[in-house]
Structure 1
Amino acid sequence: MSSERILSNPEPRLTSLSHGGGCGCKIAPSVLSEILKNVPNLPIPKALLVGIETSDDAAVYQINESQAIVATTDFFMPIVDDPFDFGKIAATNAISDIYAMGGTPLFALALVGMPINVLSNQTISRILEGGADACRSAGIPIAGGHTIDSVEPIYGLVAIGLIDPKLVKSNAAAKRDDVLVLGKPIGVGILSAALKKDLLSSSGYQEMIANTTQLNIAGPELARLEGVHALTDVTGFGLAGHVLEMARGSQCTAQIDWQKIPLLAGVEDLANQGIITGASERNWQSYGNDIDLPEQFSNAQKALLTDPQTSGGLLVSCDPQSVEAVLAIFHKHQFSNAKVIGKMHSKQDHYLTISK
Structure 2
Amino acid sequence: MPYQIPIGPFHPALEEPYKLSFNCVADTVDKVSVDVGFSFRGIEILAQKREWLPAITLVERVCGICSNVHATSFCMAAERIAGIEIPKRAQYIRTIMGELERMHSHLLWAGLAAEFMGYETAFMEVFNLRETIMDMLESISGNRVNYGMNRIGGVNRDIPDPLQYVSTLETAAKTLEKVVIPAFMDNPTARSRMGGVGILTKEDAIAWGTVGPVARASGLAIDVRSDLPYLAYEELGFRIVTQESCDVQARVVVRALELLESIRLIIAALKGLPAGPLRAFEGLPTIPAGEATTYCEAPRGEVFYYVASDGSDKPARVRIRTPSFVNIPALEAMMPGQQFANTSLIQASVDPCLSCTDR
TM-score (norm 2): 0.29
- TM score, norm. by length of structure 1: 0.29
Structure with bigger strand share is 1
Relative to total residues, which structure has the larger helix share, 1 or 2? 2
Which of 1 and 2 has higher RCO (CA within 8 Å, sep 6+)?
2
